Structure 1
Amino acid sequence: MTAEVLVCPLCGEANGCSYAAGRPHSECWCNQAVFPKGVFDPIPAEQRRKSCICEACLDTYKKKAEQNKEPHS
């Protein structure tokens, strides 16, 4: 296993992936997370499914998506 699997492909920081770190997948933060449609779109195709995004990038995506839903005055 290479160190890249422990890095978020969006921000380059640690992704906190328990499975990639050698622990059971059941311990990973992503088991309780909801990944909205489109969250992986910014990842270049050749990098998809190579490493997990981090919780911070998931939260940022969700916040931006929610802001885009709000009506503008």
Structure 2
Amino acid sequence: MSGSSNSQAKTTDTTASKPNVLICPLCGEANGCSYAAGRPHSECWCNHAEFPEGVFDCIPPEQRRKSCICQRCLETYKNQAEHEQEPHS
């Protein structure tokens, strides 16, 4: 009979429950959010951006309102939406 125990320390993945606020939830790259970086919200690029309806629907529900999307993902969304609205010849 061995006296060894099979108890191992369990690790918990906290990255899923607490996202990095400086990372875009769509592409995983830096989102450029000035406010999340500790600067005034007025300095953020998003203050001068237009966010079309539906852009935030691309974010998985469990990650919505936890971190900002980046400017590149916003532009990609806009370009795709514009392309989808173009009449087909």
What TM-score do you get using the length of structure 1 for normalisation?
0.94
- The secondary structure found in structure 1 opposite 2:53 is coil
Local SS of the residue matching 1:41: helix
Q: Deviations over 1:3-59 (max 9, x none)?
A: 710000000000000000000000000000000000011111110000000000000
Poorly superposed stretches of 4+, deviation over 6 Å:
none
Between Structure 1 and Structure 2, how many residues are aligned?
72
**Partners of 2:19 and 2:38 in 1: CA distance:** 12
Q: For structure 1, list consecutive stretches of 5 or more residues without a partner in the other structure.
A: none
User: Is residue 31 of structure 1 aligned with residue 58 of structure 2?
Assistant: no
Match of 1:19 among 23, 32, 35: 35
Query: Residue type of the partner of 1:10?
Result: L
Mapped to 2, the partners of 1:50 and 1:70 lie a distance apart of 33
Amino acid at match of 2:49: A
Greater CA radius of gyration, 1 or 2? 2
* Larger helix fraction of residues: 1
Residues in 2 aligned to 1:63 and 1:44: alpha-carbon distance in whole angstroms: 20
TM-score w.r.t. the length of structure 2 is 0.78
**Pair 1:42-2:46 in alignment:** no
Instruction: Please provide the CA RMSD for this pair.
Output: 1.2
Task: Give 5+ residue unaligned stretches, structure 2.
Answer: 1-17
